[in-house]
Amino acid sequence: MPLLKVDDVTAGYGDMEILRNVRMEVAEAEVVALIGPNGAGKSTLMKTVFGLLHPKSGTITYKDRPIHGHEPHDIVGLGLCYVPQVDNVFTTLTVEENLDMGGYLLPDSQLPERREWVYEFFPRLRERRRQRAGKMSGGERQMVAMGSALMLEPQLLLLDEPSAGLSPKLVDEIFDNIQNINRAGVAVLMVEQNAQKSLEMAHRGYVLANGENRFDGTGRELLADPDVARLYLGG
């Protein structure tokens, strides 16, 4: 039984269809990479899974429970959290305050324990817990955003372009963080501009083109596919 299943989903904005009959699955404790050219519908699919957009047709199930048409606050309570590409932290709040906002569903008594769990993944955040997020680097803000999403101990974490705009060194650090999070048992669905690197760490991947499924397979299979390499990996 997949943790997340997207079945024949068509979605978009108003009358504009961005996704057409898209299918995808994420298993428990699995990393799935979602790649494709700009405008392929990757971020639209993430938003549709998380309830920011509602599908025109098709179904989305999480832990065998239909969630298509549900609102984000309902979906978060089921154990699925989303980190958008931009505007993903409260810039005027400190690191600790951002984490507490991420754990808004928890009793206050549980917040310290959950923060400590997040700090195990991001030791730098513990060092800078009193610093305002708006004064941090792009990579550090991304860590704050991911840490905030982890406060509710989700079973599935949706990441939209986690390495966007970061230096190569910080990209490596973010990917190490993602692997550590996954090793702790959290499944990850990731949209990533660095297709090569994301497929290298992914258990499986999907390639979208023009809002439709184009290729799918294990990360290694997609990396070895000459058509995928030629069309999407620059090889």
- Provide the residue-wise pLDDT of the chain in tens; the chain has 235 residues: 799 999 999 999 999 999 999 999 999 999 999 999 989 999 999 999 999 999 999 999 999 999 998 999 999 999 999 999 888 999 999 999 999 999 999 999 999 999 999 999 999 999 999 999 999 999 999 999 999 999 999 999 999 999 988 888 889 999 999 999 999 999 999 999 899 999 999 999 999 999 999 999 999 999 999 999 998 887 6
Inside any domain, residue 179: no
Inside any domain, residue 106: no
What residues contact residue 11 under an 8 Å CB cut-off, 6+ apart?
17, 18, 19, 44, 45, 48, 53, 54, 55, 56, 58
Inside any domain, residue 121: no
Inside any domain, residue 221: yes
* Residue whose token pair is 């810039």: 91
What residues contact residue 64 under an 8 Å CB cut-off, 6+ apart?
1
Within 132-213, residue ranges assigned H as helices are: 138-150, 168-183, 195-201
Inside any domain, residue 208: yes
Domain limits for position 195: 1-79+156-162+187-235
Inside any domain, residue 111: no
Inside any domain, residue 149: no
- The enclosing domain of 200 has a CATH number of 3.40.50.300
Q: Is 145 helix (H, G, I), strand (E, B) or coil?
A: helix
Domains held by the chain: number: 1
